Structure 1
Amino acid sequence: MAEIVEPIEGYGLSKKDQERALFSKIGVVGCGRDGRSIVNLTAQSGMEVVFIEISEEKIQDALREIEHSLDTKIENWGLTQGEKRGTMGRITGSLDYADLRDCDFVIECIRYEANGERSTTLRKEVFKKLEEVLSPDAIIATNATTVIISELSADMTYKERCVSLHFPIPHSDARLLEIVKGTFTSPEVVEKVIRFSNLIKHLPIEVRESSGLVSMRLMTIMLNEACHILMENLTSMEDIDKEFTVIYGQRYGIFELADLLGIEKIVMLMEDMFNEYGDRKYKASPILWRLYHSKQYGVQTGRGFYIYDEAGKRVTPNNLI
């Protein structure tokens, strides 16, 4: 065998010289329902994901819920056991913001309060903590429909890297991402987020900064009108949902969709839009307020417009409305 006289190491890329792909590691702050959906989605798209929670118990709860959702997908022939192992292997939970240090994109997704609100003050604190550990060119985003990204980024040193996102419905067929450019957001950051949207196979839609954006302004007006029809006793709740799905080809009826999104979030969003725009069409229907005050929030609580079993499957209409 001929002797090799030149070292081959010089002809390859060392680990130090390799340029890491954009969005190879994603961070998520808060792993409630919305956060879990984002973690699950990005990990299945092949990205490494680190999520931050406030306790070890919440980390384990989030991992269990993510694994359960993957098992459900396996049962429906949408995933293999190997793909599940690969997805879970790309997900890490942490209590320490320092573990986000080498992320190039972090999405703030802290939990809603019990009444459906999310603290702007707390979210500003999250943004400041992220700025302390991330590189200056890492993107910081919030997942929101009501909070204005310009307000969250106003006190930041690198304001131009802040952007807002909204995943309208956590469903595999609703692959659309609303991208909101704030006052300070740079065009380069928007372009990168559009690339991210394409990587996760979502249609990117650029939306101007506004309360409710486009998706929720449309949805809440339709929901309010459906509630008025129900109050007028023109037909049953189930038949209203059938008209919505059969005529307009929607996957969910409008009442079922409200239960999926969460009545408490919808009511608070509508209050925000009513205060923002001053138009009564955004004022939540008495039916919505009745469900809100009685803490019948939908799928999450097992009771909303419909009643749901422990697996979140619809059982029967809620006759107590």
Structure 2
Amino acid sequence: MTIQTVMVIGAGQMGSGIAQVYAQAGFNVVLNDMKQEFLERGLGVISKNLTRDVEKGRKTEDDKLAILERISLSLALRDAANADIIIEAAVENMDIKQSIFKQLDDIAPAHAILATNTSSLPITEIAAVTKRPAQVIGMHFMNPVPVMKLVEIIRGLATTDEVYKAVEHMTRKLDKTPVEVNDFPGFVSNRILLPMINEAIYTLYEGVASKEAIDDVMKLGMNHPMGPLTLADFIGLDTCLSIMEILHEGLGDSKYRPCPLLRKYVAAGWLGKKSGRGFYVYE
């Protein structure tokens, strides 16, 4: 199975990062979103990342221009008609993802693989709305995509070995490390990470320590690069809440119950760095 043309749906933080690493690896990339302004913003982020690489001597100006030339912009899902793989990086909402996959199933060529960058939603449920569940797979890139080496590759119930091997091989071409994961809520990364973050929020909620103290304990005592409350702000508290709800519903265990303080902050619109305020205040 040869993969040459890649379509990425969603030009946000994750989608633009995914588009960048594919273009860097020599793939032709179609970056799709609903509005031109979203596409231009995403392309601007890619250009800024590449400029930083040039300034640090990791790439030449010619490398940068060649990478950008391999990325084309798209406002229409019908542009998936020529793609060998489509990677959906839209909002973390099952109804939205299923709607996209239904449309892609009708548009994409018969050989095309349909992948989702979901961080926690079941691959099997997304695949069920298509007529090609054997060709549906999860590719959970880590944020920031150009920097982080890991990609969780998640098999749905029907995903074939051929599709898995093609995606694994392609992931190595991106200079990433693929890790095979089965289809359970939160997969591996978020099943472990988010309960830790949620527990950190509980320690703040219960008055065990200040937010700074909680973060310092994990940074200085456990050698984490950033504290869990800072990390939650970077992920987005709405995203943290959504993943905890998926874990709680999917696994049915009270240990995954989202902390009431997390719910309160999300209800207040304190979503973290992206909204200017979460556990910390950002300029």
CA RMSD of aligned residues (A): 2.1
Equivalent residue for 1:206? 180
The CA deviation string for residues 138-175 of structure 1, in whole angstroms up to 9 with x for no partner, is 11111113322222222422221111121233255531
Q: Identity over aligned residues, as a percent?
A: 30
Does structure 1 residue 186 correspond to structure 2 residue 166?
A: no
Q: TM-score, normalised by structure 2?
A: 0.91
2:186 and 2:2 map into 1 onto residues whose CA distance is: 30
| Paired residue type of 2:172 | N
* Distance of aligned partners of 1:251 and 1:82 in 2 relative to their CA distance in 1, 3 Å threshold: farther
Residue number among 42, 45, 62 corresponding to 2:25 in the alignment: 45
Larger Rg: 1
Residue number among 239, 242, 258 corresponding to 2:216 in the alignment: 242
Equivalent residue for 2:10? 30
**Between Structure 1 and Structure 2, how many residues are aligned?**
283
**For the Cα contact (< 8 Å) 1:145–1:211, is it kept in 2?**
no
| Paired residue type of 1:55 | K
| Paired residue type of 1:231 | Y
Equivalent residue for 1:133? 107
Residue number among 277, 280, 287 corresponding to 2:261 in the alignment: 287
* Distance of aligned partners of 1:83 and 1:278 in 2 relative to their CA distance in 1, 3 Å threshold: same
Residue number among 30, 38, 41 corresponding to 1:58 in the alignment: 38
* Distance of aligned partners of 1:154 and 1:232 in 2 relative to their CA distance in 1, 3 Å threshold: closer
Equivalent residue for 1:85? 65
Equivalent residue for 2:82? 102
Q: TM-score, normalised by structure 1?
A: 0.81
SS in structure 1 opposite 2:2?
Answer: coil
2:78 and 2:158 map into 1 onto residues whose CA distance is: 26
| Paired residue type of 2:229 | F
Does structure 1 residue 177 correspond to structure 2 residue 177?
A: no
Mean CA deviation greater in 140-149 or 213-222: 140-149
2:253 and 2:6 map into 1 onto residues whose CA distance is: 39
Q: Which has the higher contact order (CA 8 A, sep 6+)?
A: 2
Q: Name structure 1 gaps, 5 residues minimum.
A: 1-20, 310-321
The CA deviation string for residues 176-224 of structure 1, in whole angstroms up to 9 with x for no partner, is 1111111111011011111122111222111111111111111111112
1:204 and 1:89 map into 2 onto residues whose CA distance is: 27
Residue number among 273, 277, 285 corresponding to 2:247 in the alignment: 273
Residue 75 of structure 1, CA deviation: 4.8
| Paired residue type of 1:248 | M
| Paired residue type of 1:242 | D
* Distance of aligned partners of 1:277 and 1:102 in 2 relative to their CA distance in 1, 3 Å threshold: same
Q: Name structure 2 gaps, 5 residues minimum.
A: none
**For the Cα contact (< 8 Å) 1:220–1:266, is it kept in 2?**
yes
2:201 and 2:95 map into 1 onto residues whose CA distance is: 34
1:240 and 1:261 map into 2 onto residues whose CA distance is: 17
2:100 and 2:26 map into 1 onto residues whose CA distance is: 26
The CA deviation string for residues 16-75 of structure 1, in whole angstroms up to 9 with x for no partner, is xxxxx9332211112122211211221222221101111223222222232233334445
**For the Cα contact (< 8 Å) 1:168–1:216, is it kept in 2?**
no
1:77 and 1:253 map into 2 onto residues whose CA distance is: 31
SS in structure 1 opposite 2:101?
Answer: helix
SS in structure 2 opposite 1:305?
Answer: coil
Does structure 1 residue 299 correspond to structure 2 residue 273?
A: yes
| Paired residue type of 1:188 | E
SS in structure 2 opposite 1:147?
Answer: coil
